[in-house]
Amino acid sequence: MLPGMTSEYQRKSWSTTLSGGNPAAQMSARAGLWLVSRETRPQDAREAWMRDAPAMLRTGLHFAAVRLPAGLLHRLAGGEDRGGVEKVFRSFGVTGAVIADPNQRRYYALVRPVEACPGPWDDPAVELLGRDCYLGVPAPYRADPPGTHWLLAPPEGEEDLCDLAAMGNLVAAARGCEHGARGTMGSVNWSWSVPARRV
């Protein structure tokens, strides 16, 4: 077996542990299997999830991530209500693969890694996390606060990832909303260029 590949036994064990025969839990198990299937140490991620903690997964393997400050989305949604934020994402064609981190006041939209290239990210508050970053990914079943959770359903495969063009349109709309309100974004870019950093 190649390093990082998950054996059939491990797949069945993980799936059984999470699912327990519940269809929603089985979907969570499929997402969990996909999210860690290219990790060199998938057992570390599964152990973190079993403790109900986010797993540190490397971006650029299965997915990249667009990091968005919560304030950007809350302005478009007209408040911090979860339903309003979900509606904003859905109105731009984003129906899944979005993580909410209320402690850091950020959202992460998972996109295809091949699309992790320069784009409409001239907003200092928005960053595209590609290769050699780490992202705290909640357990696939973690759909509610407190803590990091899935705002929109976790992906079970590449086809469930967010469309990068849709994310660009969302950022442009939020930027337009902010410029109309104050003239400048006024946010801080908390990124730093250190390889293999944790986010």
Tokens of 182: 């104050």
The residue-averaged pLDDT of 69-91 equals 95
Dist. CA 111–CA 127, nearest whole Å? 12
Q: What is the pLDDT of residue 113?
A: 87
- As given in the structure block, the two tokens for residue 24 are 């929603």
Put simply, whether the predicted model's pTM sits higher than 0.75 gets the answer yes
Task: Provide the pLDDT confidence category of residue 123 given band limits of 50, 70 and 90.
Answer: low
**Does residue 20 form part of some domain?**
no
Q: Render pLDDT for 1-41 as a digit per residue (tens, 0 to 9).
A: 333 433 343 333 333 444 444 545 666 889 999 999 999 99
Residues of the domain holding 155? 52-198
Calculate the alpha carbon distances from 21 to 13, 25, 41, 80, 160 in Å.
Answer: 13, 7, 27, 35, 23
Tens of pLDDT, residues 172-192: 888 887 665 543 333 323 232
- Report yes or no on 43 lying in a domain: no
Is 3 within the bounds of a domain? Answer: no
45 in any annotated domain: no
Among 21-25, 67-71, 104-108, 193-197, name the one with the lowest average pLDDT: 193-197
Structural domain contains residue 44: no
How many domains, the chain?
1
* Distance from C-alpha of 5 to C-alpha of 15, rounded to nearest angstrom: 15
In a domain, 83, yes or no: yes
Cα–Cα distance for residue pair 42/117, rounded to 1 Å: 26
| Residue 149 neighbours by CB distance under 10 Å | 17
Query: Residue 181: left (phi > 0), alpha (psi -120 to 50), or beta?
Result: alpha
Measuring CA to CA, how many Å separate 29 from each of 14, 150, 177?
7, 14, 38
Is residue 18 in some structural domain?
A: no
Amino acid at 31: A
Residue 17 lies in a domain: no
